[in-house]
């Protein structure tokens, strides 16, 4: 029985199993052995939505648990997207689990908020937060494995989706049978066989109404494209699955080579930033470079969600960009071509906090790792280089200065230039990247800029023959 949110109060597992039941069970056992999913004795968290795939998965594992001593717990996750159906689904999943003497849990996630905060589509956000929730619950209950009900049809849908998005070989390798603690015992089974099995065994399930809508790409592929493809090639799902297996094996080999290559390239790495030696990247074969960049992004927290087209843009920056060039990527990620390194980072650009600089004295700008020191000198043997050391007429500046970041409408009179210039235009001329401009300290006397630290002073405060007291300001890295 199927249909929108339909269910049954009882579940029957016949003593005399059908031929199809034996075939499907043997197929699942073969998948488990081939991919070394289980050794026996594990505690398994089973993702249970109440749909045909997850219901079939729970029944199959139930039948196997006496044979291999499995400890099963089912988890229903409410995505907060279909509140009018959720209550019935939870009730059904609870009754199903209790009828099989399987532990049951349910939890809720806020997919809409997560999608809004991270700039994801609803389906992408649902996958990500669902995965995090499964791992959290598995950890909480001490489960060693997470079993999900993906089928060979899901493999075909994923393959086609990634073709449309222009994925490379890694993306086309599809859904892995095993990834960390996640296992997919039904990955070699067709959805049609699952539904036949449930009908013959008189096992009830419910249907998620969102799976019938053609609003999402995956649903359009499932409901429109694949049926037409199967008319031409009835066994296309198996063919694509074999190809995905081959690609996955080749990817494993490449991953070893790429991991060794990347280790030699890393100059510095934090959770949200990785710096790679630039020179080897510039001369690297494009095929290897593409994989190295993907690996670097995948291995650094906060640098994920970058697609194939973005990798190609990064490669162009590496190969053709000038020092200081950068590109902005999804998720707040920036790729920066420095003098000797290539930087991938999702760090929030630093901003100088406003503070008072009393002369003589110093201020420590922790957020950008710099110190500004000011002193009064009676003579000035040199006027400094204007960038890290600058000298001004203390009679004009006064001894109470402000250190801050840029403000809208800021202007000054660049020393040696004389004419008024907007700070925005100055930064453009000096090729200061947009995301670094708030990290440039501005030293001001009242509303007037005295010095753009690291760059240039203001003509109005320059030393002259009548200067009696000299203000010396120095810029240093903090210890």
Q: What is the pLDDT of residue 383?
A: 67
- CB 113: neighbour CB atoms within 10 A? 12
What pLDDT was estimated at residue 13?
42
Name the token pair of 68.
């291999």
CATH superfamily of 19-245: HUPs (3.40.50.620)
Which pLDDT belongs to residue 215? 62
Q: What is the DSSP letter of 223?
A: I
CB proximity list for 338: less than 8 A, separation 6 or greater: 275, 278, 323, 324
CATH of domain 270-345: 3.30.465.60
Closest CA to 124 of 135, 136, 134, 112: 112
pTM above 0.75, yes or no: no
Q: With a cut of 70, which residues of the chain have pLDDT below it?
A: 1-18, 208-215, 304-305, 381-383
pLDDT of residue 18: 66
Rg (CA), the chain: 31
Domain boundaries along the sequence of the chain: 19-245, 270-345, 355-477
Fill in the DSSP letter of residue 235: T
Which residues are CB-neighbours of 331 under 8 A, at least 6 positions away?
118, 119, 302, 303, 304, 305, 306, 346
Cα angle 11-81-346, degrees, rounded to a multiple of 5: 125
Can you spell out the DSSP letters for 10-75? -----SS--HHHHHHHHHHHHHHHHTT---SS-EEEEE--SSHHHHHHHHHHHHHHHHHT-EEEEE
Burial level of 279, CB count in 10 A (0-12/13-18/19+)?
Answer: exposed
Q: Do domains 19-245 and 270-345 have the same CATH topology?
A: no
**pLDDT (0 to 100) of residue 177:** 95
| Domain covering 355-477: architecture | 3-Layer(bba) Sandwich (3.50)
What pLDDT does residue 27 have?
Answer: 94
Are the CB atoms for 198 and 205 separated by under 8 Å? Answer: yes
């Amino acid at each position: 029985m199927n249909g929108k949110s339909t269910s049954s109060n009882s579940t029957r597992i016949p003593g005399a199993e059908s031929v199809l039941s034996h075939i499907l069970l043997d197929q699942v056992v073969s998948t488990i052995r081939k991919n070394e999913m289980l050794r026996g004795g594990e505690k398994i968290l089973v993702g249970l939505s109440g749909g045909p795939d997850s219901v079939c998965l729970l029944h199959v594992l139930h039948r196997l648990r006496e044979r291999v001593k499995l400890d099963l717990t089912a988890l229903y996750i409410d995505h907060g997207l279909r509140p009018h159906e959720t209550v019935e689904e939870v009730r059904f999943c609870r009754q199903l689990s209790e009828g099989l003497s399987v532990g049951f849990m349910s939890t809720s996630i806020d997919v809409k908020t997560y999608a809004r905060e991270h700039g994801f589509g609803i389906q992408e956000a649902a996958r990500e937060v669902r995965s995090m929730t499964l791992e959290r619950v598995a950890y909480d209950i001490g489960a060693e494995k997470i079993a999900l009900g993906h089928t060979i049809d899901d493999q075909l849908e994923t393959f086609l989706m990634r073709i449309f998005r222009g994925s490379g070989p890694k993306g086309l390798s599809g859904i892995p049978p095993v990834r960390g603690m996640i296992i997919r015992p039904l990955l070699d089974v067709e959805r049609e066989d699952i539904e036949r099995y449930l009908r013959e065994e008189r096992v009830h399930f419910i249907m998620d109404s969102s799976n019938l809508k053609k609003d999402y790409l995956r649903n359009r592929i499932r409901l429109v494209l694949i049926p037409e493809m199967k008319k031409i090639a009835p066994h296309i799902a198996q063919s694509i699955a074999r190809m995905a297996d081959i690609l996955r094996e080749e990817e494993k080999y490449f991953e070893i080579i790429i991991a060794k290559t990347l280790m030699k390239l890393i100059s510095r790495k934090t959770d949200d930033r990785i710096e790679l030696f630039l020179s080897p990247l510039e001369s690297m074969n494009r095929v290897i470079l593409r994989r190295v960049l993907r690996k670097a992004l995948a291995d650094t927290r906060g640098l994920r969600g970058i697609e194939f087209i973005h990798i190609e843009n990064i490669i162009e920056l590496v190969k053709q960009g000038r020092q200081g060039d950068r590109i902005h990527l999804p998720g707040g990620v920036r790729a920066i071509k420095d003098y000797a390194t290539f930087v991938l980072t999702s760090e929030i650009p630093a901003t100088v906090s406003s503070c008072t600089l009393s002369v003589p004295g110093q201020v420590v700008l922790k957020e950008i790792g710099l110190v500004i020191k000011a002193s009064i000198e009676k003579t000035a043997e040199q006027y400094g280089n204007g960038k890290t050391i600058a000298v001004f007429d203390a009679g004009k500046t006064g001894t109470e200065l402000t250190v801050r970041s840029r403000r809208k409408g800021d202007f000054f009179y660049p020393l040696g230039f004389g004419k008024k210039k907007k700070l925005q235009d100055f930064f453009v001329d000096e090729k200061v990247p947009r995301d670094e401009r708030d990290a440039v300290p501005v030293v001001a006397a009242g509303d007037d800029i005295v010095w753009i630290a690291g760059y240039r002073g203001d003509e109005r405060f320059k030393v002259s023959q009548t200067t009696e007291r000299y203000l010396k300001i120095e810029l240093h890295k903090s210890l």
